[in-house]
Structure 1
Amino acid sequence: MYRLREPAHELRPYIENYWSVSHVPGEEVDLRVDAFVDARADLVFNMGAPYRREIIGGETVEISTSSLDAQRLVPIRIEQRGAVTITGVRFRLGGLAPFTRARLDRWSGLTPPPRDVWGAEALDLEASLRASHDLASAGRFLDEFFASRLRLDSAQAAFEAALTALVEASGRAPLGELADTAGVSPRQVERLFARGLGFPPSTVGRVVRFQTALRRLMDDPGVTLGDVAADAGYYDQAHFIRDFRLFSGGVPRGYRGYYPEEGPSDFAPNVVVFVQDESARLGRH
């Protein structure tokens, strides 16, 4: 059973949703999630069966504990079967930054346990989530945890201004323009992105262009690949296909018209498939 819950109002600019997957008594979950690159992080409290995390085209590991699946530049596939009990936090682009004092380039591409990021209090949070009987009660614990850690200072404001400018420019804003918007130097912009997102602005721009192209492709099954590439700001179709393969693990034609009606407004969704269903269902994660 897959559920979503909105966070408290003051957290919504940084956290898209809380989510949970749980088995129904007497049944087992058979779940697969293909997670595209979007430079966003998920905090996953795994309190049930272990799951397989595969870098598509790369290594596979089995994870039986909770982890922060930090911002990454590789597509992954999650497979989990059995008595599944997971509560998760889906951060927006750059949304993890105001909740931790650590530089996020320390965690890029890694899956550290929550205690490595937030200390012993993360263990207390997990204990509370284990005792929760539904996502509503879990959401209250998560709201309290993150509201107490929300830090909005001048550096965060400058980072948000530069990131917003980059996204609004579809990933194509030059570094000097981002610096002018944020009111800091170009070097400071690079440091803000290393701390707040774990990647330099140029890399984040590539991810934004990929996501722009992916959504266009999923929204409009009749669009040509050349038009998708041009509209997203790629030099040519070959560059678009290269980045698409790198960030999705697939090729563009496999995603034509594949966008669910209630997808998120900013970035395209990951593909969630409950294998035991008679017909595959799409969800957001």
Structure 2
Amino acid sequence: MLSRAPCPPLQPLVRMLWASEGAEASTEGGLERVLPTGAMHLVFRLSDSPLRLLEGGRPQSVGRTVVGGARASYYVREVSQPVSSVGIQFHAGAAPLLLGVPAHTLAERHTALEDVWGPVVAEMRERLRAEHSPHARLALMEQWLLARLRQTRGALHPAVELALQRFAAGDGVKDVVDATGYSHRRFIVLFREAVGLPPKTYTRVLRFQDALARLARCPDQSWSDLALDAGYADQPHLHRDFIEFTGLSPGRYRALRPGNPNHVPIPSGGPVGRSKTFKT
């Protein structure tokens, strides 16, 4: 997979652009759990196969151009066919400035991009398909986003911008709300509109992602040390979040040793678990 940072005008909004050529089809069972990161992403699948999620043991087709909303829940997707894709990952809070809709309306689900941007999406997908290299596709995607940016107005709300900075530094929700000068209720509304998740939920996902990153760096670290290093009260606290965010026990997750911490292969014949995907 080819990935890179965007050009400077897009950097406040977009964390990364990426393009893959014939990726996926990499797990024995053809399924994987995708874990919540709290971020939003946008994907153009250039191959014929649409994104297919597993809901209640049955596949649900989402489409070939998809907005993935911010999540605090994992989902299960099929990865049985090779897929060429182009996508972007947004910075937290930035997606509504390009998409033009509040983030909470897209949260915890996948939405067809045509439902957000209309028929121009199909034209853009065909233009991407006509390019024959990942570099050219990323350049075209970047030009398209720049054109969208020139059509948008507004900026990230200062209270949300402050909160995201403070949450990344590990500050608690109450202290951050006090620093913004807004009431707790009003702050939650502002934050959900920009980010998609309530602030307390978002900070829990951030802490869990920190734990996964630490585990990837030190895969043999004890769970008790990992819990404390990542800011959990104790090991049972980390265990509860693991079950909620992955559908797996910490021990089972460690045994699977996923190459990408947020993409956990489901072995052939293995239990899928409690999927929280949403039909679209």
Short-chain TM bin: 0.7 to 0.9
Does the 8 Å CA contact 1:178/1:189 hold for their aligned counterparts? no
- TM alignment of 1:122-201, pairs within 5 A: 122-150=121-149, 153=154, 155-169=156-170, 172-175=171-174, 177-182=175-180, 184-201=182-199
2:25: which partner in 1?
Answer: 30
What code does the residue aligned with 2:168 have? V
Cα 1:10–1:258 change in 2 (3 A) is farther
SS at match of 1:228: helix
Does the 8 Å CA contact 2:62/2:111 hold for their aligned counterparts? no
Q: Tell me, in whole angstroms, the C-alpha distance in 1 between the residues paired with 2:63 and 2:126.
A: 16
1:235: which partner in 2?
Answer: 233
1:271 to 244, 254, 263: 263
Gaps of 5+ in 2: 268-280
Cα 1:70–1:54 change in 2 (3 A) is same
Residue 223 in structure 1 maps to residue 221 in structure 2: yes
Question: What TM-score, normalized by structure 1, do the two folds share?
Answer: 0.77
What code does the residue aligned with 1:271 have? H
How far off is 1:240 after superposition?
1.2
1:280: which partner in 2?
Answer: none
SS at match of 2:157: helix
Question: What TM-score, normalized by structure 2, do the two folds share?
Answer: 0.78
Does the 8 Å CA contact 1:220/1:257 hold for their aligned counterparts? no
Percent of matched pairs sharing the same residue: 27
Q: Please list the CA deviations of residues 17-42 of structure 1 after superposition, one character each: whole Å capped at 9, or x if unmatched.
A: 2222323xxxx962355421111122
- Structure with more contact order per residue of length (Cα contacts < 8 Å, sep ≥ 6): 2
Q: Please list the CA deviations of residues 76-131 of structure 1 after superposition, one character each: whole Å capped at 9, or x if unmatched.
A: 23333445222222223334232123111111112111122223333332232122
Provide the aligned C-alpha RMSD in A. Answer: 3.0
Does the 8 Å CA contact 1:217/1:256 hold for their aligned counterparts? no
2:54: which partner in 1?
Answer: 54
Residue 11 in structure 1 maps to residue 10 in structure 2: yes
